[in-house]
A and B are shown apart, each in its own frame.
Chain A
């Protein structure tokens, strides 16, 4: 089973299905028409190549096992990064920062990377509307209302449980410290560090003075 092709196929189907659910995506995709973006994730043995037309085609570049690696596919924009940095691409404003931090190597037109990032980030899918096409408006609305209500309840319960757990750990048994105590402790540690640094600097000055005094005494005796 050609696994890289299975992966690119899954990515391609996923992206295009999501884009098809957002009525505004064709306008954003049109800005990339005819362009190619190559993404080299360091953890993967082959690059991912995105070609943009009325849809997104995802492929990779394969070399036969007994051949020398071919020259990289020419693309309008080439990005090299590691898996850890990949999620940060969602925010196109971070691209320059990531390049400066040497977490991202970019060759070519940065506009393509930014536009692709925006294309994915700005996906606005009305899931209720999508569901209503299969179930009708009433069922879709009720399903989503119930889900939203359940989600809110769950979120509230999680917050309450977290607070209760935090109180139990900090107050009666003192197993842990509260957030404020932690910050106070951190401030104290910072103060001590500053004091130690100042003391260290003063000792250094005194040492230097002592050394120069000793050398002057030696000169006088000679």
Chain B
């Protein structure tokens, strides 16, 4: 079965993809949890190594697209080790609030320790939450960001609907995620890098090649730029758009709730 075939059968039954494998939907949450439990401690260093530090610029781009200002209430979903939260926290100031949410307690703990060491306290809350069933009242947040997290969510449509629910009218959702390179040559080089070099780097740095094999596979299984935009439209977001970054290796999708 080809990758695209597997993707298409995703919602047909009770199975879903975990990388290139088909697994029971109920199993995926635990399997993803295991992956991030394993890489949490080395997550930041691996991000820097894998992306040559460019992930910092992609995250900056997301913040630049957010229209954030002092007093805003922000949900940094799948916030991991808190890169976006750290910056948002300083910008929203004492009158604002940032909620760093992640389904994985190990990632949340690494994020909390890192931010506290940076002196970021006071306007940041830490919540262990599943993106599909966000534990917040309707119309709570001015901005929701999910950076490199959506592809790990089992039911993406449900998660997008949940995000739409908790977003305030006038608020915006920003999805930063790996996507499909737009250039054929770049795509081939990227495949070579992510399927051959990446797992080896994972083995050397985090002593875990399987998790990084999953990372490469999960990126290929994630919906492309236009497909994700359509999913956001279906979830009720308006004025949706996306911007390819670094030749489409990553795309930043944006949608508003009116």
Contacts and interface: CB of A to CB of B under 8 A. Distances in A.
B135 interface: no
A75 B68 CA distance: 11
Contacts of B95: 34
Given A53-B93, A54-B119, A57-B90, A9 B63 contact: no
Interface in A13-33: none
A8 B57 CA distance: 10
Interface stretch (A64-72, A106-114, A186-194): A64-72
What DSSP secondary structure best describes chain A's contact surface? loop
B195 interface: no
Contact of A73 (B61, B67, B119): B67
A74 interface: yes
Contact of A64 (B65, B91, B94): B65
Interface residues of A, number: 27
Contact of A61 (B67, B119, B245, B246): B67
A62 B64 CA distance: 5
Given A57-B87, A60-B64, A65 B56 contact: no
> How many B residues touch the partner, as a band?
20 to 34
B57 A1 contact: yes
Interface string B32-74: 0000000000000000000000101110110111010110000
A16 B96 CA distance: 23
Given A1-B57, A51-B90, A36 B69 contact: yes
Contact of B60 (A2, A54, A64, A65): A2
Interface string A101-138: 00000000000000000000000000000000000000
A57 B91 contact: yes
A142 interface: no
A9 B90 contact: no
A62 B57 contact: no
B93 A34 contact: yes
Contacts of A65: 243
A64 B245 contact: no
B241 interface: yes
A62 B54 contact: no
B189 to A, nearest CB: 16
A55 interface: yes
Contacts of B64: 4-5, 8, 59-62
Contacts of A196: none
A9 B87 contact: no
Given A34-B94, A53-B90, A53-B93, A2 B61 contact: yes
A127 B77 CA distance: 43
6 cross-chain pairs, A with B, having the tightest CB-CB distances, nearest first: A5-B60, A53-B90, A64-B241, A62-B64, A5-B57, A34-B93
Interface of B: 54, 56-58, 60-61, 63-65, 67, 69-70, 87, 90-91, 93-95, 119, 239, 241-243, 245-246, 254
25 contacts: A2-B58, A2-B60, A2-B246, A4-B64, A5-B61, A8-B60, A9-B56, A34-B70, A34-B93, A34-B94, A34-B95, A36-B91, A51-B70, A51-B91, A53-B93, A54-B90, A57-B87, A57-B91, A59-B63, A61-B67, A62-B65, A73-B67, A73-B69, A74-B69, A75-B69
Given A5-B60, A57-B90, A59-B60, 4 more contacts: A1-B246, A2-B57, A5-B57, A55-B90
